[in-house]
Amino acid sequence: MAGHWWAAKISRTWAYSHATVSVAEREELAGWLSPRQLRLFDWMHVADRRHGLNVVAELRTRDMDEVEVLLAGLFHDSGKGPRVCLVHRVAWSLGQRYGEWIWSLSSHMPTFRTGLGRLRDHAARSADLAREAGCSSRSIELIRNEEAPTDDAGRLLRAADEAN
The 10s digit of each residue's pLDDT in 92-132 is 999 999 999 999 999 999 999 999 999 999 999 999 999 99
Assess if residue 124 is contained within a domain. Answer: yes
In the prediction, which pLDDT does 164 show? 87
What share of the chain in percent tops pLDDT 90? Answer: 91
Give the pLDDT band (50/70/90) at residue 38. Answer: very high
Residue 143 CB: number of other CB atoms within 10 A? 30
Buried b (16+ CB within 10 A) or exposed e, 86-122: eebbbbbbebeeeeeebbeebbeeeebeebbebbeeb
In the prediction, which pLDDT does 20 show? 97
- Evaluate if residue 41 carries a pLDDT over 80: yes
In the prediction, which pLDDT does 94 show? 94
Residue 149: Cβ-neighbour burial (10 angstroms; 0-12, 13-18, 19+)? middle
Assess if residue 9 is contained within a domain. Answer: no
Of the CA atoms within 13 Å of residue 93, those in its CB half-sphere come to: 14
Mean pLDDT confidence for 73-97? 95
Mean pLDDT confidence for 64-86? 96
Residue 159: Cβ-neighbour burial (10 angstroms; 0-12, 13-18, 19+)? middle
Of residues 164 and 20, the one with the higher pLDDT is 20
In the prediction, which pLDDT does 1 show? 67
Assess if residue 11 is contained within a domain. Answer: no
- Evaluate if residue 48 carries a pLDDT over 70: yes
Contact (CB, 8 A) for 22 and 47: no
Contact (CB, 8 A) for 73 and 149: no
Across the chain, mean pLDDT equals 95
Assess if residue 58 is contained within a domain. Answer: yes
Assess if residue 111 is contained within a domain. Answer: yes
- Between CA 78 and CA 25 the distance in angstroms is 18
Q: In which domain, by residue range, is 78 found?
A: 22-163
Q: Identify the CA nearest to 126 among candidates 115, 109, 141.
A: 141
Give whole-number Cα distances, 55 to 30, 51, 98, 121, in Å. 18, 6, 27, 20
Assess if residue 4 is contained within a domain. Answer: no
Assess if residue 2 is contained within a domain. Answer: no
Mean pLDDT confidence for 68-94? 96
**Number of domains present in the structure of the chain:** 1
- Between CA 144 and CA 151 the distance in angstroms is 13
